[in-house]
């Protein structure tokens, strides 16, 4: 396998190659370090690269393999989003308002290391992971490998850009209102928001009052499935947990589904400013046609969004931002727009937050009526293509919030319900940028999403497509 193929092979294939002795961990790591040095100055995907530390880890992995050691990700480099702790390294959250290194690895990082992974670096995020674009006054703008004048999405934008450009095989992300699915959609990747409680958030017991979960961005469904087989499981610290799958996620991803009952909807949630783009609608319609050709029963059915989920999402989102800002070592250093979002969150009293949490069950039941008669629901992943870099520069909190809500209206409600949802590539638009659809599953049913996404991937082998400037 040549160097370019290896860079884009994905973590499942890379793990196989290392285990078979066809490539060493050090060779793979050095390939990525060279690509990062050559390409990342244009992308700004990484905040920090652990070059020397990662070389030591790669050499240790090679020695372990040489001694007959076997681990699922032995010697495979993986990047970590900069809202997740890596021991000894500051967790910057896209700001200079934090202080000091993390005392220990987050549980998800600990499990990756236990599985043999090599942590290559930390990827950029918008300040406090607030926005679906990745720009901050402290660390600059991250760019989309498919068009350097466009955003890669956010808040896992650095992770998405790094994977899409072949700078790493997979990167951790978090999703509080679409922050895995949105950058996956805009960068041509597969992005699964898992069931709440599937991946431990420790040392945090919860994030954004239950909105946010951790996951991964990858090029292939098999890579995401392998990650979840390795990393899933709550700890005593976590307030949420999810039942283990009946079969390994990798098996689900590799097994095409039987005939599914698929609902689809292109209706914009009520209260959304803006309209659905032509390419976004076409992505859904073409996916519907594909699924019908594969024998699935597909019908149009709109979920009952109520008020669009705006009160349910905003209550936790804004209060979560307020709480995160208040807990910083130097909140006075935050950007003006971030301070504005924190002030909005301060307007949400604890009683309103408690009411929102108490009403979650009813909200979830109403939204899931569409899945009582269907196995999955398909919607657009985003309503529009990615914004231009700097498009929101200088804009205030409320203006920016209204603008981005119209771009990504389909995601946050499923964070409130906590159930799994994934962004699946769906070709390219007239502008040459990736398109995607969102597939929503029933609670605790990542297995069906992985199975269906794997079937779609077999028909549309999107991982073969690479940004021209990074090939």
Which of 24, 25, 136, 155 is catalytic? The answer is 155
Query: Nearest Cα to 147, choosing from 161, 134, 133?
Result: 161
Alpha-carbon distances, residue 109 vs 27, 173, 303, 327, 414 (angstroms)? 22, 12, 36, 22, 25
Taking the CA atoms of 193, 196, 198 and 204 in sequence, report the sign of the dihedral they define. Answer: positive
Pairing of strands 140-141, 170-175: unpaired
Query: What is the Cα–Cα distance from 413 to 302, expressed in whole angstroms?
Result: 14
Q: 232 catalytic, yes or no?
A: no
Dist CA 231 CA 227 (whole Å): 6
**Pairing of β 297-300 and β 140-141:** unpaired
| CB-CB contact of 409 with 272 (8 Å) | yes
What is the DSSP annotation of 229-290?
HHHBB--TT-S---PPPSS-HHHHHHS---S-EEEE--PPPTT-SS---HHHHHHHHHHHHH
Q: What is the token pair recorded at 391? A: 């498009």
Catalytic site includes residue 25: no
Nearest to 320 by CA among 83, 81, 79: 83
191: left (phi over 0), alpha (psi -120 to 50) or beta: beta
Q: Which of 81, 174, 200, 212 is catalytic?
A: 81
Active site residue 179: yes
Q: Which of 25, 179, 232, 252 is catalytic?
A: 179
Q: Burial-class residue 2 by CB neighbours within 10 Å (0-12, 13-18, 19+).
A: exposed
Active site residue ranges: 81, 155, 179
């Amino acid at each position: 396998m040549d160097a370019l193929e290896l860079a884009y092979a994905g973590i499942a294939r890379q793990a196989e190659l290392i285990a078979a002795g066809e490539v060493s961990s050090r060779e793979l790591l050095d390939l990525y370090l060279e690509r990062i040095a050559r390409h990342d100055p244009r992308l700004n995907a990484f905040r920090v690269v652990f070059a020397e530390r990662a070389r030591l880890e790669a050499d240790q992995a090679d020695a372990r393999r040489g001694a007959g050691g076997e681990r699922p990700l032995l010697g495979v480099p993986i990047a970590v989003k900069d809202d997740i702790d890596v021991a000894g390294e500051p967790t910057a959250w896209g700001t200079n308002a934090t202080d000091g290194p993390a005392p220990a690895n987050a549980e998800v990082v600990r499990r990756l290391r236990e599985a043999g992974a090599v942590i290559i670096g930390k990827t950029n995020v918008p300040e406090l992971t607030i926005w679906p674009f990745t720009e901050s006054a402290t660390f600059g703008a991250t760019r989309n490998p498919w068009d350097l004048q466009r955003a890669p999405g956010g808040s896992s934008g650095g992770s998405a850009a790094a994977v899409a450009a072949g700078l790493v095989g997979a990167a951790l992300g978090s999703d509080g209102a679409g922050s895995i699915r949105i950058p996956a959609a805009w960068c041509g990747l597969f992005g699964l928001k898992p069931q709440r409680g599937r991946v431990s958030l420790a040392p945090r017991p919860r994030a954004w009052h239950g909105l946010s979960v951790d996951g991964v961005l990858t090029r292939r469904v098999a890579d995401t499935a392998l990650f979840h087989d390795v990393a899933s499981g709550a700890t005593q610290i976590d307030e949420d947990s999810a039942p283990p799958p009946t079969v390994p996620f990798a098996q689900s991803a590799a097994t095409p589904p039987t005939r599914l009952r698929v609902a689809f909807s292109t209706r914009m949630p009520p209260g959304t400013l803006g309209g659905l783009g032509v390419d976004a609608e076409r992505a859904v319609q073409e996916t519907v046609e594909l699924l019908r050709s594969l024998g699935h029963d597909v019908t149009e059915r709109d979920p009952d969004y109520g008020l669009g989920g705006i009160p349910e999402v905003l209550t936790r989102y804004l209060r979560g931002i307020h709480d995160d800002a208040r807990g910083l070592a130097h909140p006075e250093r935050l950007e003006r727009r971030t301070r504005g979002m924190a002030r909005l969150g301060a307007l949400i009293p604890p009683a309103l937050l408690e009411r929102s949490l108490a009403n979650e069950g009813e909200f979830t039941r109403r939204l899931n009526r569409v899945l009582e008669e269907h196995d999955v629901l398909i919607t657009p992943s985003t309503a529009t293509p990615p914004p231009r870099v700097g498009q929101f520069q200088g804009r205030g909190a409320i203006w920016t919030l209204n603008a981005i809500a119209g771009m990504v209206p389909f995601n946050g409600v499923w964070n409130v319900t906590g159930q799994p949802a994934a962004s699946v590539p769906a070709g390219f638009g007239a502008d040459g940028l990736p398109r995607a659809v969102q597939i929503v599953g029933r609670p605790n049913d990542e297995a069906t999403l992985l199975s269906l996404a794997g079937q779609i991937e077999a028909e549309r082998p999107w991982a073969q497509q690479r940004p021209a400037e990074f090939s």
